[in-house]
Amino acid sequence: MVTTFIQSLSFGGLAIIGAFIVQAFAITLISVFTRDPGINSIFELNNTFLAITIIALIEEVFRIALIKKLIDISNNSNILFKGFSFGFGFSMIELFFISQSVQLNPSILSLVSVFMFHVLISMFTFYKLNKHRYTIQVIISLLIAVSAHIIYNILVNTLT
């Protein structure tokens, strides 16, 4: 059980770190193409629908890719526990980066919501991908996760 927790936690952390690297590359491209050298962080882009969509898509692609890999290399037991552990690792790394951002001053409620959102989406994705491994199910899971992420990000931006 401890091994499962650590493995899933690590995969969740790797997923968000990979997503942040790709997001940093996307920021660089956007700042070059928009000729706006003031864009230094993905958080500065967070107020446009395009940016919210790109952020969500990148994070969910990494989440699904690593969840799929974790399902492939492990047994099919404890799926919800693995989803929780994965989401825990994912959200803890994201919360660390959010806490280091000078632009943000997150409330406790928003930090808890980030944690809960990522845990729930990871548990949902683990359940869906473990049950249905066909390409169409992966695409459907991605669309659901990205849509939920976009709605969540819009709500957070609107309420803060």
Question: What is the per-residue pLDDT for 83?
Answer: 92
Look at residues 55, 49, 54, 66 and name the one whose alpha carbon lies nearest to residue 9: 66
Q: What is the mean pLDDT of each run of 10 residues along the chain (160 residues)?
A: 90 95 83 61 60 88 92 83 93 85 66 88 88 80 91 78
Q: Could you say which DSSP state residue 46 is in?
A: T
Q: What pLDDT sits at residue 57?
A: 93
Task: Supply the pLDDT for residue 47.
Answer: 56
Q: What is the DSSP letter of 18?
A: H
The residues, ordered by sequence, that sit 6+ positions from 9 with a Cβ below 8 Å of its Cβ are 85, 86, 88, 89
- State both tokens at 69: 């890999």
pTM here is: 0.83
Question: Phi then psi for 45, rounded to 5 degrees?
Answer: -90, -10
Domain range annotation of the chain: 2-159
